[in-house]
Amino acid sequence: MKVLDMNDLTADLQKPAVQPLLITGAHGTLGRAFQRVCAIRGIETVSLGREEMDITDPISVEKAIAQHNPWAVVNTAGYVRVDEAEADFERCYRENTTGPAIVAAACAYREIPFLTFSSDLVFDGNKSAAYVETDTPSPLNVYGNSKRLAERDVLACMPNALVVRTSAFFSPWDEYNFVYFALRAGHHKQAFEAADDVLISPTYVPDLVNESLNLLIDEEKGVWHLANQGSYTWADLARLAADMANLDTSFVVPRSMQAFGLAAARPMYSVLSSEQGNMMSSVEERLGRCVSEMMHNISNLSEEPIAVAS
């Protein structure tokens, strides 16, 4: 029988810690979804908010990567206020273009994998069939252009980087998405205007995270389109979700996108498909899975007593 000595007992303590997956933009919708999914899949992560890792600051990026020694970096950080970006363009380019390029350079130097996210808004909507990875971006707004330039700059400094184009998030895990807005309006019997002339690919965030992780682990590279199957106008999406929630869909008020008078132009068509395999389920199947959870959260929130000043 081997008698353990102090070296044996402390040996484990000296084993190198498991290298984590580093996630930027920790407090955002996608960042928090990565933390949830990685916990479910048993993937060790370190999730950093802007204060711990500002992707636009090379020193902050270097310090964070040196401190945590990750096996890979997932960049979920970004500027997503599409309309505000038209005037706030310096910050939009800083956070969507400069930041990802800085992180890509740091990953390339260490030869560790890098995943970042782009958008369907890199396209101009003039195609009559689903956009695939080899279609040429031609963005209509500042946000879309910041993403196009990020794709160019990230892949120029790190050709093995993985860039996932996606669109129109929906998820039961946070309320900052269009489907939540629509269901909450329906629950409160409030009119909800929705564009009925813009076709998009809604994306179920848990699927996006799982498929992105699978591509990263498989060491895939370049541009990949990840969105759920099925193309909808925003109004169709609102009515489909409402119907699945057994709500009367008449609260959805169809409008042309132009009638919204939004500061940023949107492509009238930005449906995404992939030349590299469509791996995600249908929007309908995923909506059916999460609408009841969303309605549960909405009705709980609306029943919470409203705190009144004493």
Ligand X SMILES: Cc1cn([C@H]2C[C@H](O)[C@@H](COP(=O)(O)OP(=O)(O)O[C@H]3O[C@@H](C)C(=O)[C@@H](O)[C@H]3O)O2)c(=O)[nH]c1=O
Q: Which of 74, 103, 168, 272 binds ligand NDP (CB under 6 A)?
A: 168
Name residues whose C-beta falls within 8 Å of residue 101's C-beta, 6 or more positions apart in sequence: 150, 153, 154, 157
**227 part of the interface to ligand X, by CB under 6 A:** no
Decide which of ligand NDP, ligand X, none touches 34; Cβ closer than 5 to 8 Å per partner kind.
none
d(CA 86, CA 49): 25
- Residue at 215: amino acid letter: L
How many residues bind ligand NDP, per CB under 6 A? 24
d(CA 227, CA 96): 20
- Residue 98 per-residue DSSP state: I
**149 part of the interface to ligand X, by CB under 6 A:** no
Name residues whose C-beta falls within 8 Å of residue 178's C-beta, 6 or more positions apart in sequence: 168, 170, 234, 237, 238
Q: Which of 45, 96, 98, 119 binds ligand X (CB under 6 A)?
A: 119
Helix or strand (DSSP H, E) at 31: helix 29-41
Q: Which of 19, 20, 27, 88 binds ligand NDP (CB under 6 A)?
A: 27
Judged by CB under 6 A, which stretch of 1-9, 54-62, 132-140, 191-199 contacts ligand X?
191-199
- Give whichever of 92 and 105 is closer to ligand X, judged by the CB atom: 92
Longest dimension (CA), the chain: 81
**262 part of the interface to ligand NDP, by CB under 6 A:** no
Q: Which of 99, 172, 186, 267 binds ligand NDP (CB under 6 A)?
A: 99
Q: Which of 38, 43, 55, 290 binds ligand NDP (CB under 6 A)?
A: 55
The distance of closest approach from Cβ of residue 270 to ligand X in the complex, given in angstroms and rounded to an integer, is 7
